[in-house]
Structure 1
């Protein structure tokens, strides 16, 4: 049971203040532990910030340089954009082609018969549907396959509900009912047909109906053939056409007006009477811009890493206690903590070792490209600055880079993007060849750095037991708990002592009053 505290009624002393002042000195070890914990947390967060920068750059390299096709920048032109527009993809060849368009791809369409005295609000029951019916509809898709879905219609459904169910189905069809003509129109969203020689095959049709086939009985769609040529199905949309064209003398057909051949994406817009010339070539300026962006992002990364390991450590600025923060303004706290957080990763071995390996990755020769090849970054005109303080930032000699691209763009691409492996001598363990391109080397090195940082500082999803700083944090937290219990004992002891003093003073005062009373009666 907690002891009753007596707060200076007999002595006239401010016991609360005396105990608090005494406990301030006793709390000094606890404050140091809290400061140590704060430093560990700041270090952990600083490491994780570094890992975020590494992960962002790694993702950038993956998106833009992992494959040679993502690195190549191509351009394509058309002599008649109104008839044929083109787009060069990374896999296209430098070429000149001619194309003549004889037919554009068209979507299948269908129109129902006239539904007398009907509107969007008309219920199917009013048109003769007496019970629920399930209808399986089949429709041609953009990927060249037929897809089917079962739709359910009830007597209480309106024509508007029928239109809605068709449009919201997974069949990729469009439906509209015109109150003026009293007709339902249905069309496929995908163009083309699978058999351009048989226009009687429906691209959208009713496969089966469990109950009344409302599209035949209510809407009056006619009978046609299914995708296999079998007759007797309700045809909802037909007449789809494939695009027909002649490319470099070869007659071709495609289901869509947009398609890709040899890395060039063609979009047919109109039938042509004369051939359209399409040219594809390497876009040197775009590739230089891409390399320029790579250099910029690399420099930003190593600049941030170098700043961290060179950052000044202000040891006279320990983390503030809660009491200290109360005595300072918000701006003063901000400035103080800016210095307190500075230099927590100064000279860090994980980061400095990783930076050294990244520099080696950049300037080592890429094996497996061939003799007399462009197989180093310096041969592309990319070198480090002459300023030692820059920490290995890159600069570009644009004349040399353009010359390398014009000389052999494929070898430039391989130097940067080639997938490869490191081979070592089984006896000595020394590297005998490294066919990895520069980008793969950088990514491998950064992944090693990120793994080591995770061992040190973990990830947000980690528990404290899974990384070394977490174990240190847990140890400090255990020590804080021990010290807090010890301080509670000390504070209780102080209060026992002052309470005993107060009680003794109170007894002395009582005795003094008693004696004074006795002397007063004897006189």
Structure 2
């Protein structure tokens, strides 16, 4: 807690104001350190921003570096009751899909009752087995109501649910399996009472039955995966036939390429803004003309124009398919040129992007991913080294500030001690002067 001081009581001087003025001059070096701290922090934030945008570029490149990621496909169906969707690595093809039966879960109803809340007067045990699972046993008391039994079944831990259905005049207990498929049929064992659950189910558990190009198959659910490579079929209706086609999705591929372009240009814009390259003035003084940013931009720029290893013929660089840089170093996409290349030689375009030894491709995207690691990700990467150096500089400034701040406190204490001594001396002289004056006045009155 700072102390309250009253200066100049003896001398008449405003010593507090004088000391404040002196300390303001003394603190000029401290203010300079504060200014440097702000500059260095802005630089650290700038390098961190560059690293983040480099990571975004790597993600965009990764989305185009695999054969499954680059080769985008879409699935279509001529009948809306069979919904086809691409779920993995696929290839262009068409299939005739016919659905004979849908997969269903078992539903069983008990004997109708007049009330759902009156005691049934039944007691015993109800055994329930779902498929090949372990049976569960539920104890039924004579005071149990239909609702009580439904609750006990629902909390038994078996893969089923139970509820009470009212048809307008009577109440019936419904037990429904949670899983479809013939393997999930439910069996009941009523010991000491009869609810009527052991009879024929209202809906039997059954598998989906379908054919693909005449080949019969069954599934336990209506979500059919694996039958068509990379495609999932959602079945919603029986006795229907549909033509399912898998085709190239050029729009999806272009979106991925556009995302790569955006990520690349974010790096260029950020680098130019921070360091003041091109026609832009540096927004961060500490990073003006920064060599680490310049080398980072140069590294990814060279990858755009270089020949991709393993490619031959017309399409050997990204520029040959419509990806090139403008005067500011930003990447631009000529969609018409990309579309034409995909139409003329899709395999050659694939090799430009994809890293896959099975097709003899290294791909440009792998090179971008490696470059990002060297620039921003690895322990000794360019931007990490720059960030570490700024961190050390920031720590030195913090240490210098703390040391100088302590020195300022000592200097202020010294000033106050000196002025206090001055006030003491002045006060002493004032007292002596007053005494002499009093003596003179006394002598003159005799």
Same fold (TM over 0.5): yes
Whole-angstrom CA distance in 2 between matches of 1:153 and 1:411: 70
Matched-pair contact (CA < 8 Å) for 1:8–1:15: yes
1:241 maps to 206
Structure 1 distance, partners of 2:374, 2:135, is: 50
Counterpart for residue 310 of structure 1: 276
Q: Quick check: 1:205–1:237 contact (8 Å CA) kept in 2?
A: no
1:173 aligns with 2:189: no
How many residues align? The count is 431
1:404 aligned to which of 329, 333, 341: 341
Instruction: From the superposition, tell whether residues 436 and 112 of structure 1 become closer, same or farther in structure 2 (CA, over 3 Å).
Output: same
**After the TM superposition, which residues 116-127 of structure 1 pair with which residues of structure 2 at under 5 Å, given as runs?**
117-119=115-117
Partner of 2:36: 36
Once residues 340 and 360 of structure 1 are traced to their aligned partners in structure 2, the CA distance between those partners, rounded to angstroms, is 23
Within 5 A, what are the aligned runs for 1:205-354? 205=187, 217=193, 219-222=195-198, 239-260=204-225, 261-272=228-239, 275-310=241-276, 342-354=284-296
The offset of 1:272, in angstroms, is: 3.2
What's 1:10 paired with?
10
Per-residue CA distance 1:24-47 (angstroms, 9 max, x = gap): 111111111222222222211221
Match in the other structure for 1:203: 185
Distance of 2:441 and 2:172 partners within structure 1: 123
Query: Separation in 1 of the partners of 2:7 and 2:177?
Result: 89
Offset of 1:220 from its aligned partner?
4.7
Distance 1:123 1:304, change over 3 A: farther
Q: Mark the CA change 1:65 to 1:190 in structure 2 (over 3 Å): closer, same or farther.
A: farther
TM-score scaled by structure 1? Answer: 0.71
Contact 2:146 2:173 in 1 (8 A): no
Query: Quick one: structure 1 residues 18 and 74, their matched pair in 2 at CA, closer, same or farther if it must change by over 3 Å?
Result: same
3-state SS in 2 of match to 1:9:
coil
Q: How much does 1:303 deviate? A: 2.2
Which residues of structure 1 form unaligned runs of 5+?
141-145, 195-201, 207-212, 225-235, 315-338, 421-433, 458-466
**CA displacement 1:223-279 (0-9 Å, x = unmatched):** 89xxxxxxxxxxx99721111122112111122222131223222232336x43222
Residue by residue, what CA displacement relative to the aligned partner does 1:446-477 show, whole Å, maximum 9, x if unpaired?
122223333433xxxxxxxxx33232222222
CA distance in structure 2 between the partners assigned to 1:249 and 1:96 by the alignment: 13
Q: Deviations over 1:262-318 (max 9, x none)?
A: 223222232336x43222221334433432343233223322223222269x9xxxx
1:382 corresponds in structure 2 to 323
Q: Does 1:503 align with 2:433?
A: no
CA contact (8 A) 1:192 1:242 kept: yes
Structure 1 equivalent of residue 435 of structure 2: 514
- 1:94-140 Cα distance to aligned partner (Å, 9 max, x none): 22221222222222222233456433xx689x7547xxx9x996646
- Is the contact made by 1:115 and 1:219 (CA closer than 8 Å) also made in structure 2? no
Deviations 1:145-189 (A, max 9, x none): x66697988979976566467667876534321255332212223
Distance apart, 1:358 and its partner CA: 1.0
Partner of 1:449: 375
Secondary structure of 1:366's match?
coil
Distance 1:282 1:416 in 2: 16
Q: Equivalents in 2 of 1:87, 1:45: separation in Å?
A: 43
SS at match of 1:183: strand
Q: CA deviation at 1:92?
A: 2.5
- Which is further off, 447-456 or 476-485? 447-456
After superposition, the CA RMSD in angstroms is 3.7
Paired residues for 1:365-380 under 5 Å: 365-368=307-310, 371-372=312-313, 374-380=315-321
SS at 2:178 equivalent: strand
Q: Is the 8 A contact 1:3 1:496 kept in 2?
A: no
Aligned to 1:91: 89
TM-score (norm 2): 0.82
